[in-house]
Amino acid sequence: MTRAAKIEVHLEVIIFEDLPAGTRLNGEQLQKRIAQATPEQKRRAYERALVRCPLLLDDEKEGITI
């Protein structure tokens, strides 16, 4: 699994947290929102990845580009 894929998992959660409760998205809509994620959302996803489920290897823990 690539670094980007690991962080994308957490970005999906961040995107759903930012939507009104009960909002549903299909796969295509979710991918579009991931592609349009703000730098703030990407940063939050990276921080969540480090805290919640440390899947990132030590050499993957710099920067937040996905």
How many domains, the chain? 1
**Which pLDDT does position 4 carry in this prediction?**
79
Residue 32, in any domain of the structure: yes
Reported as a single tens digit per residue, the pLDDT across 34-47 is 999 999 999 999 88
Residue 66, in any domain of the structure: no
Q: Where are the beta strands (DSSP E) in the chain?
A: none
Crossing angle between the packed helical segments 27-35 and 3-18, to the nearest 10 degrees: 100
Residue 15, in any domain of the structure: yes
- Its domain, for residue 29, covers 3-60
Residue 65, in any domain of the structure: no
Residue 47, in any domain of the structure: yes
Mean pLDDT estimate for the chain = 84
Residue 28, in any domain of the structure: yes
Task: Yes or no: say if 11 and 48 are a contact pair by the CB < 8 Å rule.
Answer: no
Residue 55, in any domain of the structure: yes
Sorted by sequence, the CB contacts under 8 Å of residue 53 that are 6+ apart come out as 10
Length of the chain: 66
pTM of the predicted model, to two decimals?
0.76
Residue 26, in any domain of the structure: yes
